[in-house]
């Protein structure tokens, strides 16, 4: 909202996201200690030289668990954002370009999904088939595709009446070529901006599911699960619970700000 000051803020957000990507990729190599090793001699220890962020109720090193936990936080959200980007773009182009019954059916799907509370669907799903991470990710993709679809369809509808599309049609260019090579480059920017917002939402929902004990299996180092597991430690050493929580907020906020910034850039691009 304050365009003059966004530069440093966006740089900081990009740094946060890059940091999380590095942790998610090389986490096990970077962690000072094994995140799964229990040390019952030093349980619930406050931060010290040996354990920078202390230990949890089973004597596991909090810092190492946070570093390794970046992977479950990032990978699930990334898979959801990427998969729903792929399907959302393909179906959105199809709905916007072809129109007709394809559009009608896809838009009913969008209408249906917009009033469905995602997290509750995932809770019910976990209650029926059991708490499993990847099936939950798959369900989340189905619930998220309409978000991308709607954005891409809207942008495509703006492009279809333009002369270059007419020209390509007249030249006999096949429909799939017009959609992917002519129209998509012009709608891709808003789709990419939307992918960041989808990523932030997916991160929050998946951590929430793990927080409830219905996401990753017990014992996994995961930010949402750590936050829940370490709530009883708030009295002795709050960092154990507050640090993973802060990381969830930091990552989600960064992703949201980058997405908003990209959209703003797009909106003002025509004016310059």
Residue whose CB is less far from another protein, 39 or 109: 109
Residue whose CB is less far from another protein, 28 or 232: 232
The one among 24, 31, 93, 248 contacting another protein by CB under 8 A: 248
Residue whose CB is less far from another protein, 100 or 117: 117
Place of tokens 């929580």: 245
Question: Which of 202, 224, 213 is CA-nearest to residue 126?
Answer: 213
CA–CA distance from 12 to each of 26, 71, 188, 248 (Å)? Answer: 21, 21, 25, 16
Q: For 100-238, where are the alpha helices, taking DSSP H only?
A: 100-114, 118-129, 133-159, 163-170, 175-177, 184-211, 223-229
Is residue 164 close enough to count as binding another protein by CB under 8 A?
no
Smallest gap from Cβ 159 to another protein, in A, equals 20
Smallest gap from Cβ 171 to another protein, in A, equals 36
Region of 21-29, 39-47, 165-173, 220-228 interacting with another protein (CB under 8 A) = 220-228
Residue whose CB is less far from another protein, 1 or 40: 1
| CA atoms within 13 Å, Cβ hemisphere of 115 | 3
How many beta carbons lie within 10 A of that of residue 261, not counting itself? 19
Residue whose CB is less far from another protein, 125 or 179: 125
The one among 75, 189, 246, 266 contacting another protein by CB under 8 A: 246
Smallest gap from Cβ 95 to another protein, in A, equals 16
Place of tokens 């394809």: 102
């Amino acid at each position: 909202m304050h365009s003059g000051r966004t530069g440093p803020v966006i740089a900081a957000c990009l740094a946060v996201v890059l940091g999380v990507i590095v942790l998610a990729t090389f986490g096990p190599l970077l962690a000072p200690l094994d995140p799964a090793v229990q040390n019952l001699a030093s349980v619930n220890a406050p931060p010290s030289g040996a354990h920078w962020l202390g230990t949890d109720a089973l004597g596991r090193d909090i810092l190492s668990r946070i570093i390794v936990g970046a992977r479950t936080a990032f990978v699930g959200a990334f898979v959801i954002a990427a998969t729903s980007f792929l399907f959302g773009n393909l179906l959105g182009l199809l709905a916007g370009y072809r129109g007709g019954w394809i559009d009608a059916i896809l838009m009913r799907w969008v209408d249906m999904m917009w009033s469905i509370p995602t997290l509750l669907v995932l809770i019910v799903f976990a209650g029926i088939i059991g708490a499993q991470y990847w099936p939950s990710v798959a369900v989340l993709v189905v619930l998220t595709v309409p978000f991308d679809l709607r954005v891409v369809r809207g942008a495509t509808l703006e492009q279809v009446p333009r002369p270059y599309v007419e020209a390509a049609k007249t030249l006999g260019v096949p429909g799939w070529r017009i959609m992917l090579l002519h129209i998509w480059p012009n709608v891709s920017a808003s789709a990419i901006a939307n992918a960041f917002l989808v990523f932030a939402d997916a991160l929050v929902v998946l951590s929430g599911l793990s927080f409830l004990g219905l996401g990753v299996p017990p014992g996994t180092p995961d930010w949402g699960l750590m936050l829940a597991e370490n709530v009883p430690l708030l009295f002795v050493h709050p960092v154990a619970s507050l640090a993973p929580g802060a990381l969830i907020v930091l990552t989600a906020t960064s992703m949201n700000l980058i997405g908003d910034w990209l959209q703003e850039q797009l909106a003002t691009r025509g004016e310059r």
